[in-house]
Amino acid sequence: MIIGKTKSVCPVCLRVVDAQKRSEKDGIYLDKRCAEHGAFSSLIWEGNLASYLRWNSENTAVDPPREGRAPEKGCPRDCGLCTEHLRKGCCMLLELTRRCNLRCPVCFAAAGEAPKPDLSLEEIEKQYEYLMAHGGPFNIQLSGGEPTVRDDLPRIIRMGLEKGFTFFQLNTNGLRLAAEPGYAETLREAGLNTVFLQFDALDDSVYVTLRGRALLEEKKRCIEACAAAGLGVVLVPVIARGVNEDQVGAILRFALENAPAVRGVHFQPLSYFGRCALARPERPITIPKLLALIEEQTDGLLHASDFYGGGAESAYCSFHASYRIREDGSLKPLPRRQSGGCCTSSDDSRTSVAEQWSGFVPAFDGDDALTETSALDAFLEQARRSTFAVSGMVFQDAWNLDLERLRRCHICEVDSRYGMVPFCAYNLTNQNGEALYR
């Protein structure tokens, strides 16, 4: 049964094509046909129609880009952002370098291949200024390549603070944080809030497959260093069919054992773009599949029903649950809220993510000569530290791209040539690895 129409791209030539969503017993599929390259079909939801429709918590409020440009070529070729886009943005990725100290068989940024020169400090300054002029401040994700290969990283963070940004997360493999004494402190003192740590398993064979070598001990050392320095850590596992689906529960248990330094887990089912040594499976991991894995592998600690879809972005791009860790180690799912737990706009989302993922949040500075409220601060900090977040984002590739979802994207890559480009447009590659924007 056909349940909806949208637009997508041909995975061979990336031409925009009509697409339709089809409901079958075993899931929801996105079907499309390119006049030149034929028909394509991709599983987008592993569940029945009722579960698909029930998941939709889409917020239809208007929250468009600031100073968007007029579209010319049509979505997804006008990014920067254009006025047809529906979200102003929450988190912005700055790709500080294309260099990397690993050579992962799986890398959306295809880092390390004939790397261009690093972004200069002047270019980074211009990008910060561009962001402030187009709806900033946003949360900043310092990314790459591997951003810690740059020795001026602390200076880049301080520059961002001076420009008015308040939340910085480091997208890293953790190798330098694990190896270099004092490095975590240096980044923390510069203003870094969170380490977004690639963490795919508690089994080194998985790292060999996805990252090219054993890494578990270094990951653990990185977490220890961040904890000692007061940096929040979010574990970011890529989950690939046939590689590490069985690691979901172990990762969650490890994260809870290392809370509150580990603030949460953010799953990213593998997307088939950039450099990807793995073949795209017939049934890639969808949101319901991942929630089922979470429930099956955590012995009743977490349940699929604890989770809900994104509020600011498309509900079908992400999932999220927040928990209070009780003293006995059990988890209490926290209710979804209009603000805080659930985000209804890019700004709500930005604040909520920053509070949950940071290692430390400065107390509200409202006290004066007649007011002293540190007891409230202490309680709030304790409550924040006992909150644990489990979330995930399902990126789109050339096979399952839905332009309706893309228009609600609020995670963008910053590129001096274009401006702010939604993540899944920026990283989109065809089956030969050719990109629209990179």
Partner 1 sequence: MAAEKNYYTIDPQGKLMCVKCGVPLEKGKAKFMYLDNGFPVELPVCPRCGFVYVPEELALGKVASVERALEDK
Q: Which of 364, 416, 433, 434 binds partner 1 (CB under 8 A)?
A: 364
Please pick, from the candidates 159, 227, 301, 334, the single residue that binds partner 1 as defined by CB under 8 A: 334
Contact between 335 and partner 1 per CB under 8 A: yes
Enter the tokens of residue 99.
């260099």
The closest alpha carbon to 162, from 179, 141, 137, 195, belongs to 137
Q: Is 294 exposed, middle or buried (CB count within 10 Å of its CB: 0-12, 13-18, 19+)?
A: buried
Tell me which residue has tokens 């100073």.
67
Instruction: Say how many C-beta atoms besides its own lie within 10 A of residue 234's C-beta.
Output: 22
Q: How buried is residue 338: exposed, middle or buried, by Cβ count under 10 Å (0-12/13-18/19+)?
A: exposed
Instruction: Decide whether 95 or 306 has the Cβ nearer to partner 1.
Output: 306
Q: Which residues between 286 and 325 bind partner 1 (CB under 8 A)?
A: 324
Region 373-402 residues binding partner 1, contact defined as CB under 8 A: 373, 375-377, 379-380, 383
Q: Beta strands of 165-302 (E only): which ranges?
A: 168-172, 194-198, 232-236, 238-239, 262-269, 275-276
- Does position 416 interact with partner 1 (CB under 8 A)? The reply is no
Q: Which is nearer to partner 1, 300 or 335 (CB)?
A: 335
CB of 313 to partner 1, least distance (A): 24
SS3 177: helix
Q: Does 366 bind partner 1 (CB under 8 A)?
A: yes
Q: How far is the CB of 331 from partner 1 (least distance, A)?
A: 12
Task: Find, among 10, 17, 1, the residue nearest to 53 by Cα.
Answer: 1
Encoded tokens for 23: 């409901």
The total of other beta-carbon atoms located within 10 Å of residue 6's CB is 16
Q: Quick one: 237 or 341, whose CB is closer to partner 1? A: 341
Q: Which residue's CB is nearer to partner 1, number 203 or number 355? A: 355
Task: Name 27's Cβ contacts closer than 8 Å, sequence gap at least 6.
Answer: 43, 44, 45, 46, 47, 283, 286
71, 115, 230, 340: which one contacts partner 1 (CB under 8 A)? 340
- Minimum CB distance to partner 1 smaller for 221 or for 303: 303
Give the nearer residue to partner 1 in terms of CB position, either 12 or 334.
334
Stretch that binds partner 1, among 108-116, 175-183, 239-247, 361-369 (CB under 8 A): 361-369
What is the nearest approach in angstroms of partner 1 to the Cβ of residue 310? 21
Piece of 54-62, 73-81, 187-195, 334-342 that binds partner 1 (CB under 8 A):
334-342
Cβ-contact 344, 312 below 8 angstroms: yes
- 2 is a contact residue toward partner 1 (CB under 8 A): no
# residues contacting partner 1 (CB under 8 A): 19
CA angle 43-46-48, nearest 5°? 115
Should residue 330 be labelled a site residue for partner 1 when binding is judged by CB under 8 A? no
Which one, of 341, 339, 265, 256, lies nearest residue 301 by Cα?
256
Closer residue to partner 1 in complex, CB, 300/366: 366
Pairwise CA distance, residues 274 & 281, whole Å? 16
The residue from 1, 70, 114, 370 that contacts partner 1 (CB under 8 A) is 370
* Closer CB to partner 1, 213 or 324, in the complex: 324
Sequence length of the chain is 438
- Write down the least CB distance from residue 425 to partner 1, Å: 36
Of the pair 202, 334, the CB lying nearest partner 1 is at 334
Q: Are 108 and 100 in contact (CB under 8 A)?
A: no
Q: Which residues bind partner 1 (CB under 8 A)?
A: 324, 332, 334-335, 337, 340, 364, 366, 369-373, 375-377, 379-380, 383
